[in-house]
């Protein structure tokens, strides 16, 4: 059955290029996950605070390697993407930021992010979200980015607000966590909207080859 409209972005938009590294600032870089990150992935999913807002665990080195390897496959399939947020001085992951539920037809994706406990309180999630948002809008030309979080997750709400993601509404009892159903905030941002003044434009972005 023929479509009445053309997809907003053509197939191959992601898989035709290598996943880039994005420079956030002089301290942080977003890069593809690599095999050496396994211990950090295990540590992240062992964190009670991260487990509270996620529905899965990573048990052991084999599952961590499987989790990491899966991102290259999802990039080629153009369904999802994930970057390790790394301390540029040590090249060690301190968090994750990514695109989920990617739709080339509608040029949209859902943002996700988390930060390891030792790195919290320094604005890392907000800076990573800002860098990925600029790349998604300016390079890929996505039309809409959105994020979802439990209404009980105040920290995630602050990240969304600072990154210019407007609160569009509350989805009642729509996300299942270990402790039951949660109401969910829906935030979104359009490419046509101006970046928040707090975001600035001092962070350089550079498409480098993955290591």
CA atoms within 13 A on the CB side of 73: 5
Q: Is the pLDDT of residue 106 over 90?
A: yes
Distance CA 194, CA 3 (A): 32
**Phi/psi at 182 (nearest 5 deg)?**
-120, 145
Q: What is the pLDDT of residue 25?
A: 94
Q: Is the pLDDT of residue 100 over 80?
A: yes
Task: Residue 123: name the closest of 161, 152, 76, 150 by CA.
Answer: 161
Domain boundaries along the sequence of the chain = 22-190
Distances in whole angstroms, Cα of residue 174 to Cα of each of 65, 83, 148, 177, 197: 31, 26, 10, 10, 32
pLDDT band at 130 (very low <50, low <70, confident <90, very high): very high
The region of weakest confidence among 115-119, 148-152, 201-205 is 201-205
Q: Is the pTM of this model over 0.85?
A: yes
Query: What is the average per-residue pLDDT within 80-88?
Result: 97
Among the four given CATH numbers 3.40.50.300, 3.40.920.10, 3.40.630.30, 3.30.499.10, the one describing domain 22-190: 3.40.630.30
Q: What is the pLDDT of residue 99?
A: 98
The overall average pLDDT reported for the chain is 91
Tokens 């406990």, residue? 117
In the three-class reduction of DSSP (H, G, I as helix; E, B as strand; rest coil), residue 96 is classed as strand
Q: What is the pLDDT of residue 197?
A: 67
Query: What is the average per-residue pLDDT within 166-184?
Result: 96
Q: What does the buried/exposed string (b/e) look like for 82-110 if buried means 16 or more CB atoms within 10 Å of the residue's CB?
A: bbbbbeeeeeebbbbbbbbebbbeebbbb
Q: What is the pLDDT of residue 198?
A: 61
Task: Residue 189: name the closest of 172, 168, 211 by CA.
Answer: 168
Regarding predicted confidence, which is higher, 204 or 79? 79
Q: What is the pLDDT of residue 199?
A: 61
Task: Residue 199: name the closest of 166, 162, 165, 155 by CA.
Answer: 162
Distance CA 189, CA 62 (A): 37
Distance CA 94, CA 84 (A): 8
The model's pLDDT over 32-81, given as tens digits with 9 standing for 90+, comes to 999 999 999 999 989 888 888 887 778 889 999 999 999 999 999 999 99
Task: Residue 205: name the closest of 112, 123, 140, 110 by CA.
Answer: 140
Query: What is the average per-residue pLDDT within 144-164?
Result: 96
Q: Is the pLDDT of residue 182 over 70?
A: yes
Q: Is the pLDDT of residue 91 over 60?
A: yes
Percent of the chain with pLDDT over 90: 79
| Strands 28-31, 144-150: pairing kind | unpaired
Q: Is the pLDDT of residue 135 over 70?
A: yes
């Amino acid at each position: 059955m023929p479509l009445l409209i053309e997809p907003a972005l053509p197939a191959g938009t992601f898989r035709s290029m290598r996943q880039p590294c994005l420079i956030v600032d002089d301290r942080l870089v977003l890069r593809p996950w690599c095999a050496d990150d396994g211990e950090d992935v295990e540590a992240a999913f062992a964190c009670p605070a991260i487990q509270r807002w996620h529905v899965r665990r990573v048990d052991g080195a084999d599952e961590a390697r499987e989790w990491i390897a899966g991102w290259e496959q999802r990039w080629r399939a153009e369904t999802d993407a994930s970057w390790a947020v790394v301390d540029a001085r040590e090249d060690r992951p301190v968090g994750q930021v990514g695109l989920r539920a990617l739709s080339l037809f509608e040029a949209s994706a859902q943002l996700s992010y988390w930060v390891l406990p030792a790195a919290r309180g320094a604005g890392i999630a907000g800076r990573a979200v800002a860098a990925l948002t600029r790349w998604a809008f300016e390079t890929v030309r996505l039309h809409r980015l959105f994020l979802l979080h439990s209404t009980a997750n105040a920290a995630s709400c602050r990240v969304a607000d600072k990154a210019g993601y407007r609160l569009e509404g509350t989805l009642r009892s729509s996300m299942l966590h270990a402790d039951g159903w949660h109401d969910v905030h829906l935030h979104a941002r359009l490419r046509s909207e101006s970046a928040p003044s707090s975001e600035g434009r001092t962070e350089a972005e550079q498409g480098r080859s993955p290591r």
